[in-house]
Amino acid sequence: MNLIIDVGNSYVKLAVFQNFKIKSRKVCGVEDFIKEFKKIRNEFKNIKKVIISSVGRLERSQIDVVKIYYDVLCLTHDTKLPFKNFYKTPKTLGVDRMALVSASVQQFKNKNVLIIDAGSCITYDFISYKNEYYGGAISPGIRLRYQSLHNLTANLPLLESKIPKDIIGDSTASSIHSGVQFGIINEIDGVIDTYKQKHVDLTIILTGGDTDFLSKQLKNGIFANSNFLLEGLNFILEFNSN
Q: Tell me if 48 sits within 8 A of 71, measured CB to CB.
A: yes
- How far apart, in Å, are the Cα atoms of 6 and each of 44, 53, 164? 18, 5, 33
Return the H-helix or E-strand segment holding 232.
helix 228-239
The amino acid that residue 157 corresponds to is: P
Among the options 96, 117, 125, 210, which is catalytic? 96
Q: Are strands 71-74 and 49-54 parallel, antiparallel or unpaired?
A: parallel
96 is catalytic: yes
Q: SS3 of 24, please?
A: strand
CA count, 13 A, side-chain hemisphere, 41: 15
The amino acid that residue 130 corresponds to is: K
Tell me the C-alpha distance between 122 and 117, whole Å.
5
- The residues assigned a catalytic role are 96
